[in-house]
Amino acid sequence: MDQRQVGIEVRNSSIPRWRANAQLVWGAGGLEVSWNLRFLSAVTETCANALVTPVPGCSDAPGATHSLHSLVYHDAQVSWADAFRLTGLRVAVGVNNLFGTSPPLCFTCTLNGYDAGTYDLPGAFWNARATYKF
């Protein structure tokens, strides 16, 4: 069994050296807008671990590596408290990965070149929520 290490892609999983989240929130009255940034630093995979070699874009030299670049996901949400003049009703609409940032190509991953354990699915994901507290 391979030992997981920080910054190294092994068996469809990695531990980025840096993960950071930042959130900016603005609110007035019952309206609230939030913008979230999620950062993942680059990780490295060993080209020799690819299921099929040689891999285009990955050298076949001994010890060759490939970098899965760092990325930032942008998430946004807008919520409205006491919506439609109903006290206790909150309506929210949001999106994860607003700009549809694609995960980096992983040559050693078995899920179509994608590390699902570390990165979000490609594309933007919209959501809506209504809650009522009485």
Give 67 or 57, the one with higher predicted confidence. 67
| Side chain identity at residue 12, one-letter code | N
Question: Predicted confidence band at 3 (pLDDT cuts at 50, 70, 90)?
Answer: low
For residues 113 and 9, is the Cβ–Cβ distance under 8 A?
no
Average pLDDT, integer, range 58-66? 80
Note the pLDDT of residue 2: 60
Question: Predicted confidence band at 62 (pLDDT cuts at 50, 70, 90)?
Answer: confident
φ/ψ of 37, rounded to 5, equals -115, 130
The yes-or-no verdict on residue 64 having pLDDT over 90 is no
Give the torsion through C-alpha atoms of 90, 27, 29, 98, to 10 deg.
-40
| Chain segment 30-47, per-residue pLDDT in tens | 999 999 999 999 999 888
What the block records as the tokens of 59 is 């050298």
What the block records as the tokens of 65 is 């590596």
Average pLDDT, integer, range 82-91? 94
Distance CA 134, CA 46 (A): 56
Distance CA 130, CA 110 (A): 38
Compute the mean pLDDT over every residue in the chain, rounded to the nearest whole number. Answer: 90
Note the pLDDT of residue 66: 87
The yes-or-no verdict on residue 1 having pLDDT over 60 is no
φ/ψ of 70, rounded to 5, equals -75, 160
Nearby residues of 103 by Cβ (< 8 Å), 6 or more positions away: 68, 71, 114, 115, 118, 119, 120, 122
